Chain A
Amino acid sequence: QKEVEQNSGPLSVPEGAIASLNCTYSDRGSQSFFWYRQYSGKSPELIMFIYSNGDKEDGRFTAQLNKASQYVSLLIRDSQPSDSATYLCAVNEEYGNKLVFGAGTILRVKS
């Protein structure tokens, strides 16, 4: 069974610090990787996706993918209290829009 593993946290970082969120996946055939942010009581919101090995940057967010080691990470620079949320890692199968989600990591940014 395909699995996506995340540390549930909570991960606490001070305001302005870098938050590092990690995710491992079991299916070597996985093609695309997504990071979603979910505030309490809200629906998941796409932050970034990545499908090539290496880094992908978008503003304060950097996604890193290492297919050989089967992990994907999300770095949040200059963390803000508004970044406090649950971050969900998701991996999709080769065909279709079926995403396998991790359980999510709770991030708390303290001012």
Chain B
Amino acid sequence: KAGVTQTPRYLIKTRGQQVTLSCSPISGHRSVSWYQQTPGQGLQFLFEYFSETQRNKGNFPGRFSGRQFSNSRSEMNVSTLELGDSALYLCASSLSAGQGTRELFFGEGSRLTVL
């Protein structure tokens, strides 16, 4: 069973540019969440999508956005990149997004460097 696939794995951008990251969840999983990991702030929740709808959003500026497609694949976009956006961006998939225990399975991440 294939895991969570994230592309690209590594990318370098300059300040002011924008970036789009892609995530394909585990087959059959309908919930996709995005997290940002930095040495200083650790793992922080960005947003969650389920059935093409954003269910939850973390405390990040509007430059961070995302969407989910009908096949559950998800993309996140960061516009007007800042140096502080350099991070590992992790996508996690889960079967559902309702109440109860839900296991998240993480992809290998997209490492973004902003110069």
Q: Which residues of A contact B (CB under 8 A)?
A: 31-32, 34, 36, 42-46, 49, 51, 88, 90, 92, 94-104
**Which residues, 76 to 114 on B, are CB-close (under 8 Å) to A?**
90, 92, 94, 97-109
Residues of A within 8 A of B58 (CB): 98
**Interface SS majority for chain B:** strand
The 10 closest A-B pairs by CB, nearest first: A101-B43, A43-B106, A32-B101, A96-B56, A98-B56, A103-B42, A98-B45, A97-B33, A44-B106, A97-B48
- Give the total number of A-B pairs whose CB atoms are below 8 A apart: 63
Quick check: A97 and B94 within 8 Å, CB to CB?
Answer: yes
Residues of B within 8 A of A43 (CB): 90, 106-109
Quick check: A95 and B98 within 8 Å, CB to CB?
Answer: yes
Residues of B within 8 A of A101 (CB): 35, 42-44
Interchain CA distance A45-B106 in the complex, whole Å = 7
Size category of the binding interface on chain B: 20 to 34
Residues of B within 8 A of A98 (CB): 33, 45, 48, 56, 58
Quick check: A88 and B43 within 8 Å, CB to CB?
Answer: yes
Interchain CA distance A98-B33 in the complex, whole Å = 8
Q: B56 is contacted by which of A32, A44, A97, A104 (Cβ under 8 Å)?
A: A97
